[in-house]
Amino acid sequence: MTENAEILTIPSVTLSHHRVVALAYDGLCTFEFGVAVEIFGLPHPEMGDRWYRFA
Domain spans of the chain, in order of start: 15-54
Q: What is the pLDDT of residue 29?
A: 93
- The reply to whether the predicted model has a pTM over 0.85 is no
Q: What is the pLDDT of residue 53?
A: 86
Smallest CA-to-CA distance from 15 within 55, 46, 53, 54 is with 53
Q: What is the pLDDT of residue 4?
A: 59
**How many whole angstroms separate alpha carbon 28 and alpha carbon 9?**
42
Cα 12–Cα 19–Cα 31 angle in degrees, nearest 5: 145
Q: What is the pLDDT of residue 9?
A: 60
What is the chain written as a DSSP string? ---GGG----TT--PPPEEE-----TT--HHHHHHHIIIIIS--GGG-S--EEE-
Return per-residue pLDDT of the chain as tens, 55 residues: 555 556 666 555 555 678 889 998 999 999 999 999 998 888 888 877 777 888 8
